[in-house]
Amino acid sequence: MEIIETDIAGVVILEPRLFRDARGYFFESFSQRVFEEKVLRTTFVQDNESRSSYGVLRGLHFQKPPHAQSKLVRVISGAVLDVAVDIRRGSPTFGRHVAVELSGENHRQLFIPRGFAHGFAVLSEEVVFQYKCDNYYAPQSEGALAWNDPALEIDWRIPAGDVLLSDKDKKHPFLEEAPELFDYRDNLYEA
């Protein structure tokens, strides 16, 4: 497993080592030991999967403390543009984002730490998307930002007219209007 640093500390791309032969391929998609050695000591407690069609945009979501979540995301089939936005007030990268194409072909994964909003846009006809979370879903702690906040400068790589949103995702505030975010000085991994 190769760990690729991004422009924002803590947000990393994981690229597995593929073993190919005439029968197909094999790769280890996750190892707790390797993840803790190379990325972060945390324990994933929930796996989720979604299927979406072209133009679906899910995000930008997060959970507020004490239910903040890290996510390790990947695509089984199809392709997405996956985005992590730093929403830790006081962070040197506050309001900046990392955008990575994840696909069933490149087998890459993206780790999004606590203190970040997360979203993805479907670039292919259909996608099967999986992610691990290190905290359980807690609806009372849900938070989100508007996907089209001009201050975030995210190029979702699909025309705005093709974007398909849930009713909920149509109503999120811009970053400057968001009431509760994270504080960069807080250790979000303390029990």
Cite the active site residues: 61, 131
> In terms of DSSP bridges, do strands 97-103 and 79-86 run parallel, antiparallel, or are they unpaired?
antiparallel
CB 116 within 8 A of CB 87: yes
The CA-CA-CA angle for residues 51, 121, 5, to 5°, reads 110
Distance between CA atoms of residues 100 and 73, nearest Å: 11
